[in-house]
A and B are shown apart, each in its own frame.
Chain A
Amino acid sequence: MSKRKSKEKALPIGECISQVHAVLRLRFLQQSHDGKKFGVESQHKHLVELLKRTVIHGESNSAVIIGPVGSGKSMLLKDALQEILKIGQIKENALQVHLNGLLQTNDKIALKEITRQLNLENVVGDRVFGSFAENLAFLLEALKKGDRTRSCPVLFILDEFDLFASHKNQTLLYNLFDIAQSAQTPVAVIGLTCRLDVMELLEKRVKSRFSHRQIHLLNSFKFSQYLELFQDQLSLPSDFPDTQFAESWNKNIESLLENKTVEEVLQKQFNATKDVRSLHMLLLLALCRINVSHPHLNAADFLEAFRLRRMDSKANILHGLSVLELCLIIAMKHLQDIYDGEPFNFQMVHNEFQKFIQRKAHSVYNFEKPVILKAFEHLQQLELIKPMEGLSVRSQKEYRLMKLLLDNSQVTEALQRYPNCPTDVKQWAVSALE
């Protein structure tokens, strides 16, 4: 026994690292919170109560959970459902139907999916129904008959609820809410959405059938709580196989909290967004740097992860342009400065570039017009410039009106970062107005 215990205690380091990855990746990506909740206790209680009333007392309910992306809507629902299912008598005769607005893009698909999830495919078979409501009523009736008890409650979970509102006539929503109001089958319709104005999307008759129960999930925590969350998320659980490693890992995380650099990074992240999911992404990126030769997280990992997350993508693209393309961008910037953001065409850019060559630079940049046009088209392909009207309008390439999708500051910054930028080009970029 003792031998086994000692074996359990000290796994080889590679194994430990692998375990750390497995545990933490699962935690960050599957959004399972291990029962810990941050500032959503009241909402959780509300939801559990609501669901309980449906499945135990046969009361029909509807509610919408609203919150920004990454605020833990699905997690809250998952937790609540888990808690409900723990109650023995319910598990047997409560049915769940999960629908997602991204998958069920129209009512026909949604109805098929409901049939499938209720295991009624063999019953419906090839029967053709007159109306949508008839089909739905049949589905629910079949449910009633199928069970020994009088009726079986159904929980409808509608993820991306706002997308269901874009269906034609909102038939599915109308029928679900209608059943929740009139028919005897107890149903609970729970919608999840990130749109605050979701009520405005509903038609009048659908809206009137909805119970107007809204559960708001707003990330209303302070920075100190954010730090707590950070520690909680990174700590290894007590059932980690190698306790010694877990202990030293957790101690390290604790010490990280005191680190000024880490706090700075977290503060910056917090200022940008309070969204827990982006915190997870940051932590995961830092975690990716953990390997056998580098078994513990340090401040540099977080700095690097933050740098990766906060790169300006357009600056990156600008960095890879050729000198000629960069010159064209500068010419466009000048045109924008002179003409106050009016759109331009290739001819004007070419003219501006020619002025530069004739006055300032050596003949090194003296390219032929088609070569310059090719560079211009490459810029368009990279979507750094955008045509004003659609491409369907037939006109010559040279005279198509374009807009630059870059800021002046972005251009200047890119110039400074550009490797081996010729001095005369730099000079030209600085001397904006003449």
Chain B
Amino acid sequence: MEHHAYEEEKLQKLQQLILCRDAQVSTLLSIFGERQHLSFPSIFIYGHTGTGKTYILETLLSTLELPSAVINCIECFSPRLLFEEILNKLHNHCPAPENDFSSYERCDSLNDFVRLFKKAISCQGLEKETVYIVLDKAEMLREMDANLLPGFLRLQELTESYVTVIFLSEIVWETFQPSTGCLEPLTFYFADYSKAELQRILSSDYPPEYSPEFYASYINILLGVFYTVCRDIKELRHLAALNFPKYCEPIIKGEVKENDSHKLFRNIEPHLKRAMQTVYLREISSSQWEKMQNEDREAAQLKGLSAHAHVELPYYSKFLLIAAYLASFNPARTDKRFFLKHHGKIKKTDFLKKHEKTTNHLLGPKPFPLDRLLAILYSIVDSRVAPTANIFSQISSLVTLQLLTTVGHDDQLDAPKYKCTVSLDFIRAISRTVNFDIIRYLYDFL
């Protein structure tokens, strides 16, 4: 990492702040060039989340003290917010109580922005210096006005100033291209961290009371469990911080020495595997997980979020839902066989077409008309059900609960079609409460 245009001291500071990204940083520095050099009009940087795109750009620009505006496109969801934010940053203006949280200047369109941008540049005396505009989460720009992305791509030409626009995104450039073409940016890839690099970065922030080697061996175990599933450094770092107290526990109790890595591994591995099923999926929140570790309870005793999926429904609603599930997942021609009392002789071969079997639970629910739902309902409920207003309102309330959905919104009253959108586990739990054996009625499990 060396560049004659920048001070040695600052570059060294950069080297300390940024790990395992020397190649990218030096390429970026050489692309940036000196302050008063013209740089590329636009640079498109892509890479997975947690490869340090935003971090490196931010540290690079702030350490080298280059004039820049770093904007998050999710935050600035409309063109006006985007433009005003950039202008605020260039003018060092911050919305505060003193100025009624107003921005520096009102700017609605790209036309105004270009004019005001030129003004800002000459105001700050940056005419002969490259100004960097960093647009983070640039994929949001695609959904904004059609002229925005091409406009930013040729901002250098439009403003006739030394400006470089840097786009940061997770998504590849090909999906950004407008159909009418545009000025191609320089695309630049931030490679993912390899396992060794992840190990090095994660081990770098070890807690002071333990030795670095000890923490490194912990990280090694952690990566061994999670690396096949997750490579996101933020997630891994979070998991590392969360599970470290458990790892140290045997040492604090005095059962194991620090260098007995085998025993420590035996102790932590099942714990980490449980963490994958719970904390990684956010079934159990991190604070719950920490509390559980402190109280030394068995992990995963706590019910996760998905365990609370059980819903208490009225009696007829339950049967309505069961009927809807049956209607959705059984082909209509098998209704006779399942629900009619005297259905005559069943031809076994008809029902055991191999290619049709188990496809319904694979392909998802099929839409069914209201009549079929009611017919199945009458057949599965033992007592007589009167088609009262209550029954029909319960159907529509199941739709609002999103347990059913309407298909095709063309008609509200006349022969509406529905789909059942609950899982098999859910419907089994429901049918168990009303003593109904749903598996016996499902074609897929015949």
Interface residues of A (CB under 8 A from B): 14, 17-18, 21-22, 25-26, 29-30, 69, 74, 100-105, 109, 113, 162-163, 194-195, 277-278, 281, 284-285, 288-289, 291-292, 308, 311, 313-314, 316-317, 319-324, 345, 347-348, 351, 364-365, 367-368, 370-371, 374-375, 381-383, 394-396, 398-399, 419-420
- Give residues in B with beta carbon < 8 Å to A: 2-5, 27, 30-31, 33-34, 36-41, 46-48, 51, 109-111, 114, 145, 147, 150-151, 154, 156-158, 170-175, 180-184, 186-189, 191-192, 194-195, 227-231, 276-277, 280-281, 283, 306, 361-365, 402, 405, 419, 421, 423
Contact A348 B33 (CB under 8 A): no
* Contact in complex: A102, B191 (CB < 8 Å): no
Question: Shortest beta-carbon distance, B189 to chain A, in Å?
Answer: 5
B residues less than 8 Å from A288 (CB atoms): 27, 30-31, 33
A102 to B151, CA, bound (A): 6
Whether the pair A281, B186 counts as a contact (CB closer than 8 A) is: yes
Given contacts A374-B281, A395-B419, A398-B364, 12 further A-B contacts (CB under 8 A): A18-B5, A30-B38, A102-B110, A102-B150, A102-B158, A281-B186, A314-B174, A320-B51, A321-B231, A345-B363, A347-B361, A399-B364
Interface majority SS on A: helix, strand, loop or mixed? helix
Q: Is the CB of B110 within 8 A of A394?
A: no
Main secondary structure of the interface of B (DSSP, over half): loop
Contact check, B46 vs A284: say whether CB atoms are below 8 A apart. no
Sample (17) of A-B pairs whose CB atoms are under 8 Å apart:
A21-B33, A26-B38, A69-B181, A102-B147, A102-B150, A105-B109, A105-B110, A105-B111, A163-B147, A316-B46, A319-B191, A321-B231, A324-B229, A345-B363, A367-B229, A371-B229, A383-B172
Q: A99 — nearest CB in chain B belongs to which residue?
A: B111
Say how far A421's CB is from chain B's closest CB, in angstroms. 11
Contact A22 B36 (CB under 8 A): yes
CB-based contact B306/A370 at 8 Å: yes
Q: Is the CB of A103 within 8 A of B151?
A: yes
Complex: A311 Cα to B190 Cα, angstroms: 12
Whole-angstrom CA separation of A420 from B157 in the bound complex: 45
Out of B51, B111, B276, name the residue touching A113 (CB < 8 Å). B111
B198, chain A: closest CB distance, angstroms: 12
CB neighbours of B31 from chain A (8 A): 285, 288
**In the complex, which of the residues A22, A289, A319, A351 contacts B362, with contact meaning CB atoms closer than 8 Å?**
A351
A322 touching B38, Cβ below 8 Å: no
Q: A22-B37, A317-B48, A322-B230 are in contact. Are A103 and B158 (CB under 8 A)?
A: yes
Contact B186 A292 (CB under 8 A): no
Q: How far is the CB of B195 from chain A (nearest CB, A)?
A: 8
Which residues of the other chain, A, contact B30 by a CB distance below 8 angstroms?
288-289, 291
The smallest beta-carbon distance between B278 and chain A, in angstroms, is 10
Contacts of B277 in A (CB 8 A): 368, 370-371
Q: Which of B189, B194, B230, B361 contacts A311 (CB 8 A)?
A: B189
